[in-house]
Amino acid sequence: MAKNKKTQQIDNHVIDNTNKGMTTNDGVFITDNNNTLKAGERGPSLLEDFIYLDKLAHFDRERIPERVVHARGSGAHGVFESTVDISSITRAQFLKKGTQTPVFVRFSTVAGFKGSTDLARDVRGFSVKFYTEEGNYDLVGNNIPVFFIQDAMQFPDVVHAVKPEPNNEMPQAGSAHDTFWDFISLMPEAAHMTMWTMSDRAIPRSLRMMEGFGVHTFKFVNTEGKGTFVKFHWKPKLGVHQVAWQEAQKISGYDSDFHRRDLWEAIDGGDFPQWDLGIQLIPEEDEFKFSFDILDPTKLIPEELVPVQIIGTMTLNRNPENFFAETEQVAFDPGRLVPGIDFSNDPLLQGRIFSYADTQNYRLGGPNFHELPINRPVNGKYNNQKDGFGRQEILKGNVSYFPNSLGNGCPYHAMLKGEKGFESHAEKVDGKKIRNRSQSFADHFTQARLFFNSQSDSEKNHLISALSFELSKVKSEDVRRRELAILNQIDSTLAKKVGDHLGLKPSTNLDDLTLQFARQNHPEYPIKAPKPEIEKSAALSMEVKLGEGNIRTRKVAFLIADGVSKSSIDKMKNGLEEEGAKAVLIATKVGPVKFKEGGEALVQFSYLTEASVCYDAFYTPEGDSISILKNEPDYYQFINEGYRHCKALAFAKGAEELLQNTYIKDDKVDKGVILESKNNLVEDFIQVMKGHRIWEREQDRKIPV
């Protein structure tokens, strides 16, 4: 049957890349699609790189109106206070001791669309806009200190690989599919970041309980023009905590806004989240001191080598008034600097300087996005730019150029009035124009091994389970084998255990195709890895020892029914609230619940509307309610699932008999199951909760993650 005209028109536009050489959008053949054009192997990227600009300009315009990446976000206002004098190393005024600076923070997932779940296994964006008296400064980072790629040229590729596959738009907000692991298995440089994303770091308990990192190496510049390399860290006051993978999947079903709701309710209730801002400082003369390259964004600087110095505290204290106007329209850009802070020659950072500004110009309708209220600098803006889409400010006069005399030379250069504006750090650059990478970027497995070695036994098991889950979703056996070979370079036991789940034996050698692509960047690859300074780093583990943490803002489900003892509730509730935790009454129905002693409480949550995965611990008070709970299946669902997810459970004396109908038999009662007849009920319950989870329960009781 002949095709109709419409079908023929479509067919004329179908492109098959098979056996075709790669070109730009203008048909120019590309010899290197992995590296930006730089002045020397470790030099800055050059603006004349039309291949990179063409690629990134297309990438930045692939979605309207939501962000291509970091589409799903949550935001809040706050204040940053500098607490340490570091004026000798930076002239940034907002870092002057005692200075308070308004901020707006946006947390986000990376891979999912705006409507995706908060609980996806994913990197989390952690971006802070400082409204300083010298202009806006954006610290645009993640909750993971490294990235998948070393050069910005491949940023569109890693995002395309992790996004839903283009032929069927699946899966949403997930990396467990062929295209992501196909890309990763051909990119040994991604090994370190892969370990982080497959770890518990990728499924935080709360946005308030995750670290933030600037990822790249930046520079501080002091008043004399001396530069110092710097890494930025955000350390949460509440500690760093996670949820189990199976738990995360269930939370997505019960409340896909779990993180967003948690942040909003905490601020709304006066439990303002806080982070300490820490810095790692590396003198310019120590740039080549380490076994790794500090300009390589796939590497971190272990805190044992360069301790993190705390210089200030950020407090989030106000929710947005309008989500779209603030959280959605806020525009972050790592190229927004203030005097005293500058870039390094990290090739991924160099590319982001273009990409983010270009994205915001497109996404927010033109070059005047900075006039939106959420993006306006507090000290005003003054230049000769008048026109463009979305212009809001009305600039007087007939001058729109510089220099001028008709406008009295205004706005003037800062130096003309004795003021000191932004000055780039004076760094000598000398190199050939090349597309290449420094040999110092070629060690891809040492820090991946450092991360794995630094994990606790439970964290290692979770990581193995995550890799097994993800690779089990990959249909291509070739891709599975390639990735197993990469894992084998990191740790043979890790690779073997993952391989056992896949029915495959890991190869000791990297796949030929992987080597082919790696050698495009490093012709001598694989190199002999330099000897690392350390084999383990305590800062890379999230494990909290029993009783060493805190339980502020943790939600404890009080499982009750009519006839519950008020005194039994109050005894535990008072103890928890003294520690900053929250008691939430959950009953067989919403509405009034009668106390054994007389009177009643108005309950807003029931077993029908709530789920155990949304709570941190569980308490069953005594009272006549026990006879009702004994025949309540949903009560046992809370207890059994809470136990399975390694959470703390407490039972008043009269409630202990309910254990007979749960999964928790006498031989499974551990330190996380607090019985009033055997323990100091309140104190021991709080002490166990401070350890976050009883992860050893997974091994001792063989409870799956």
> Nearest to residue 232, comparing CAs of 157, 344, 353?
344
- Residue 328 maps to which CATH number? 2.40.180.10
pLDDT the model gives residue 2: 47
Q: Do 446 and 49 form a contact (C-beta atoms < 8 A)?
A: no
Same-domain check for residues 92 and 211: yes
Same-domain check for residues 586 and 632: yes
Same-domain check for residues 101 and 221: yes
The verdict on whether omega for the bond into residue 411 sits within 30 degrees of 0, i.e. cis, is yes
pLDDT the model gives residue 211: 98
φ/ψ of residue 284, rounded to 5: -55, -35
Q: How many domains does the chain have?
A: 3
Point out the catalytic residue in the list 34, 35, 70, 192.
Answer: 70
pLDDT the model gives residue 5: 45
Same-domain check for residues 252 and 391: no
The CA-based angle 662-667-668, given to 5 degrees, is 55
The verdict on whether omega for the bond into residue 65 sits within 30 degrees of 0, i.e. cis, is yes
Same-domain check for residues 696 and 596: yes
pLDDT digits (tens, 9 = 90+) for 449-503: 999 999 999 999 999 999 999 999 999 999 999 999 999 999 999 999 999 999 9
The torsion defined by the Cα of 676, 681, 685 and 686, in degrees rounded to 10, comes to: 180
- Dist CA 110 CA 92 (whole Å): 30
Helix (H, G, I), strand (E, B) or coil at 544: coil
Cα–Cα separations (whole angstroms), residue 603 to 491, 591, 597 = 51, 5, 17
pLDDT the model gives residue 30: 76
pLDDT digits (tens, 9 = 90+) for 121-145: 999 999 999 999 998 999 999 999 9
Q: Examine residue 543 and state whether it is found in any structural domain, yes or no.
A: no
What length is written for the chain? Answer: 705
Same-domain check for residues 600 and 685: yes
pLDDT the model gives residue 70: 85
Same-domain check for residues 78 and 210: yes
Helix 492-502 × helix 457-472 angle, to 10°: 40
Q: Is 70 an active-site residue?
A: yes
Point out the catalytic residue in the list 34, 35, 136, 142.
Answer: 142
Q: Examine residue 150 and state whether it is found in any structural domain, yes or no.
A: yes
Same-domain check for residues 105 and 220: yes
Please, which residues bridge with residue 187 across strands?
none
pLDDT the model gives residue 28: 66
Structural domain span for residue 394: 382-412
Q: Examine residue 79 and state whether it is found in any structural domain, yes or no.
A: yes
pLDDT the model gives residue 417: 66
Q: Do 301 and 280 form a contact (C-beta atoms < 8 A)?
A: yes
pLDDT the model gives residue 1: 42
Same-domain check for residues 308 and 399: no
Q: Examine residue 610 and state whether it is found in any structural domain, yes or no.
A: yes
Q: Which of 321, 346, 375 is the last residue of a domain?
A: 375
Same-domain check for residues 268 and 394: no
Q: Examine residue 325 and state whether it is found in any structural domain, yes or no.
A: yes
Under-70 pLDDT residues of the chain? 1-15, 24-28, 62-65, 415-417, 700-705
pLDDT the model gives residue 700: 57
Please, which residues bridge with residue 126 across strands?
107, 141
Spatial neighbors of 204 by CB under 8 A, at least 6 apart, are 124, 143, 210, 240, 241, 242, 243, 259
> Nearest to residue 118, comparing CAs of 162, 72, 159, 69?
72
Q: Examine residue 499 and state whether it is found in any structural domain, yes or no.
A: no
Helix (H) or strand (E) holding 248: helix 245-254
What end-to-end distance do the CA atoms of the chain give, in Å?
A: 55
- Dist CA 363 CA 62 (whole Å): 10
Same-domain check for residues 337 and 219: yes
Q: Examine residue 184 and state whether it is found in any structural domain, yes or no.
A: no
- Residue 668 maps to which CATH number? 3.40.50.880
Please, which residues bridge with residue 410 across strands?
none
- Dist CA 651 CA 673 (whole Å): 8
Q: Examine residue 687 and state whether it is found in any structural domain, yes or no.
A: yes
- Dist CA 621 CA 586 (whole Å): 12
Same-domain check for residues 301 and 386: no
pLDDT the model gives residue 62: 67
